[in-house]
Copies of this chain bind each other. A is one copy, B any other.
């Protein structure tokens, strides 16, 4: 009994350590100075999420952000070259966070099909808050990803930035889903396309729920998860 208690205590302490030290790693070339390394940096991240969510990425400027956090435009430029890089930082952080959730929530599942189902759950469900990161409003960041992520790669600089590794986390997340699809269904011919379609499609369906309801069937009572689980499982001929 005491042994069990001690054992449990060790697990809990392990988890606490894991959680308290946990930081999502973003490619260092995306920033000039690591925003996690200072108070100002953390405030830049915290309030850029709030401000972009409020006024949209187009209207967002470093000047407005500076006014908001009582800091100077020029100081923000010491952390990020421009607002595009800041958007890359935010979306990278999001995909890193989602990847972490995906790994955590599927790690201990042995059945490939159950694993895949749980992965679909994590990827297509609405974003929920995570107390581990006090400076990040995950729900608003999720909205930013829905509304702005595609603008981060639909540019003339994609290929260069892709070579630099700015989209590596996003692609790695999709590779993980692809591999889970393959484990469930080794003969399926389009695992990467299916994985990317689900990840992109989930963002798209969430957008449609908010703005173009006539071209989606998703709603609060039947969220994207339902649609995508049915889609993937039927495509792979796996029974629900």
Contact = CB atoms under 8 A, between A and B. Distances in A.
A95 to B, nearest CB: 12
Interface in A162-206: 162, 167, 171, 174-175, 178, 189-197, 200-201, 204-205
A5 interface: no
B215 A204 contact: no
* Identical copies in the complex: 2
B59 A175 contact: no
A231 to B, nearest CB: 5
A128 interface: no
Contacts of A200: 200-201, 204
A158 interface: yes
Given A196-B208, A217-B189, A227-B190, A154 B159 contact: no
B211 A171 contact: no
11 contacts: A56-B155, A147-B154, A158-B211, A159-B211, A175-B214, A190-B217, A195-B215, A200-B201, A201-B201, A230-B235, A231-B231
